[in-house]
Structure 1
Amino acid sequence: MKILFTAEHDNNLDKLKELGDVIISGWALGDPKLTEDELIELAKDCDIIITSYDDITEKVIVACEQLKLIACTRATPVNVDCKAATKRNIPVIYTPGRNSDATAELTIAHMLCVARNIPQAYMALKNGEYTDANRADLSGDGVQKDAIWDVTSDSPYEVFKGFELHGKTLGIIGYGSIGRRVGRIARGFGMALAIYDPFLSAVDVNEPGVKIVSLDELLCHSDFVTLHLKVSESTIGFLNQERIGMMKESAFLINTSRAAVLDEEAVIEALRENRIKGAGFDVYAHEPIHADHPYIKELNNVTITPHIAGATVEVLTNHTNMIIDDINRFLKNEPMLHQYN
């Protein structure tokens, strides 16, 4: 058994190497994505290709005559020509849910950051604001040491005063693997959940504090709105100007899924005009995000991260274990758990 491995990993490939001769190349070594010709040269006599981001095109699939299985360590194998693989009776396996916990946690982190102005407060201190160069005791004689720094209108206590998650309503658009995890964490903060997902029934969320609602109701009444949608013809531009306009002025918008499901220009205008309170984003219409983007240069009511929702060590371990488990099933002629085609 010969395996080409170009996927992200956690440096623990012993179980994979037990399956056969493993060629490690490309992204797995920290190198750029491989070209079609490079892939063909490396995999021309391989039985299995395991990749994260390389484009496994029809040309690659046809040229690699020994190929029997393609594994993609992503929630959707968008970089694999599944039709071409199916034509050659080659199964394509993938790793749905591998980064669900990581993405859910970053979603909650954005909610906390934008509601409590954490990045803004951090940067103010790093820039020397609200600090004392003379190391003076701000609490004064006879005053307990944990007193707030000041109570003037321009003090950090006032400037960065935010909102609690407790008692608020979180509107979750898309209640799949990630949306459910976000909801579970949010419930721990004491939030009520409003769910919009046309593929769910009331039985699926039959618990106190969780309610399936119409999209209009969710947008009109939620204090936080978070998107967890896959990109499809029906979801591109899903949250458009009209729907953003339905949100409360006090509401916060979070998107850690895909930028395509959101009208970015409409969000920028809503933030500029304070038609929503704030937002937190991990994804953008153009990536890497432009250096002069309004989120960076202009708006101070938005928190941003550089598409890192799935960037945890645990995600790498998860998808490696999932792939190895399914490869073992494949070798034993057992049904695979995560076959895409």
Structure 2
Amino acid sequence: MKIFFTAEYNEEELKPLYEVGEVVKDGWALGLPKMPEEELAEKTRDADMIITSYDDITRKVIENAEHLKLIACTRATPVNVDMAAAKERGIPVLYTPGRNSDSTAEMTIGLMLSAARKIPMAYKALKGGEYTGDPSSRKETKEGLKADVIWDMKADAPYMVFKGTQLKGKTLGILGYGSIGRRVGRIARAFGMQLLIFDPFVGEVDVEEIGIKKAHSVEELMKESDFITCHMKVTPETTGIISRERIALMKPTAYFINASRGAILDEEALIEALKEKRIAGAAFDVYESEPIARDHPYITELDNVVVTPHIAGATDDVLVNHTKQIVSDIKRFLKGEHLLYQYRY
């Protein structure tokens, strides 16, 4: 059995796959770029299984692989697989839901803390030599007093410039209460935050308890939350759901966090709100267009925004998770057992 393999992976968790058949590693598995369609179609011509992360498994690739029995994509949403073509051939498609849920949830909390406490701004200032002291200077403690550790006490001191807000006691609005949203909520509760949930696919009885309430509308969540974080898939219903009108409902002290997808947000309207200081700040790991342009206002103009380059799921633990998921389901497939991670086309 030939297994054509271009996925990210954890070597230790991949070892059982070597007992199944010949694993031919190529592309991203070897640190190479995404493979062109023609090349991929030719190299998978005699493959029994294709396992990938980012390569496009198009109709041409699927139809060209005469012996293809299984496709596996190590992503939570296998957007790079032509599901219609796979269905026509009766080829099951595996994917890895939840593989990066913990990593993304932790990153979301990190973005919240970074924006609320202005951590990246303070770091950048110190690395740039601001607020630093003369290496040769020494503070003297007056007789009868104990040594004080304050940096300075004036209007432009770091204590004033980087003064932020704590998470405890604040309301976190979570848009989308699935695998990631729930994990974000659990961590936020440990900080002492109240949760306000909007998700049309969960009922009050499923989420509400002391400190957790379901919002009846996006508008209610936008009005009442001190922090707003998004964890929704891109669908016709969620595209642009954070609109100009809804952004206008936010508190002037509120922060907006997005580590899901840029398409859910009216980016131009959010930029205007940040420029005009109509909200306190924001933090982003995803954008309307990626990679983010070097002249984007988040980078060149705004001092109340934290930005990272779409890395919420970039941990070694994610590789362990999705390799384990795919390998275990391949073993089930070969045994004719029920598949745990089969995508429903």
Specify the TM-score bucket, using the shorter chain as the normaliser. over 0.9
> How many Å separate the matches in 1 of 2:179 and 2:324?
18
Aligned counterparts, 1:22-37, within 5 A = 22-37=23-38
> How many Å separate the matches in 2 of 1:171 and 1:283?
18
1:263 partnered with 2:266: yes
2:124 corresponds to = 123
1:2 corresponds to = 2
Aligned counterparts, 1:31-110, within 5 A = 31-110=32-111
Q: Any idea what SS the aligned residue of 2:105 has?
A: helix
Q: CA deviation at 1:40?
A: 1.8
2:281 corresponds to = 278
Aligned counterparts, 1:161-200, within 5 A = 161-200=163-202
> How many Å separate the matches in 2 of 1:102 and 1:175?
16
1:297 corresponds to = 300
Within the candidate set 224, 229, 239, 2:227 is matched to 224
Q: Any idea what SS the aligned residue of 1:234 has?
A: coil
Tell whether the 8 Å contact from 2:5 to 2:23 is kept in structure 1 after alignment.
Answer: yes
Tell whether the 8 Å contact from 1:138 to 1:149 is kept in structure 2 after alignment.
Answer: no
The one-letter code matched in structure 1 to 2:272 is E
The one-letter code matched in structure 1 to 2:40 is L
> How many Å separate the matches in 2 of 1:326 and 1:84?
21
Q: CA deviation at 1:278?
A: 0.2
Q: CA deviation at 1:286?
A: 1.4
The one-letter code matched in structure 1 to 2:309 is P
Residues 1:177 and 1:139: Cα distance change in structure 2 (over 3 Å)? farther
2:239 corresponds to = 236
The one-letter code matched in structure 1 to 2:137 is A
> How many Å separate the matches in 2 of 1:24 and 1:144?
64
Tell whether the 8 Å contact from 2:141 to 2:148 is kept in structure 1 after alignment.
Answer: no
1:288 partnered with 2:281: no
Deviations 1:233-253 (Å, cap 9, x if unpaired)?
A: 111111010010011111000
Q: Any idea what SS the aligned residue of 1:226 has?
A: strand
1:113 partnered with 2:114: yes
- What is the TM-score of this pair, normalised by structure 1? 0.98
> How many Å separate the matches in 1 of 2:231 and 2:206?
17
Aligned counterparts, 1:135-214, within 5 A = 135-138=136-139, 140-141=141-142, 144-145=146-147, 147-214=149-216
Tell whether the 8 Å contact from 1:139 to 1:146 is kept in structure 2 after alignment.
Answer: no
In structure 1, the gaps of 5 or more residues are: none
The one-letter code matched in structure 1 to 2:178 is G
The one-letter code matched in structure 1 to 2:51 is I
- The root-mean-square deviation of aligned C-alpha atoms, in Å, is 1.2
Tell whether the 8 Å contact from 1:45 to 1:65 is kept in structure 2 after alignment.
Answer: yes
Q: Any idea what SS the aligned residue of 2:239 has?
A: coil
- What is the TM-score of this pair, normalised by structure 2? 0.97
Q: Any idea what SS the aligned residue of 2:111 has?
A: helix
Count of matched residue pairs: 341
Q: CA deviation at 1:202?
A: 1.2
Within the candidate set 302, 325, 329, 2:328 is matched to 325
Q: CA deviation at 1:136?
A: 2.0
Residues 1:87 and 1:129: Cα distance change in structure 2 (over 3 Å)? same
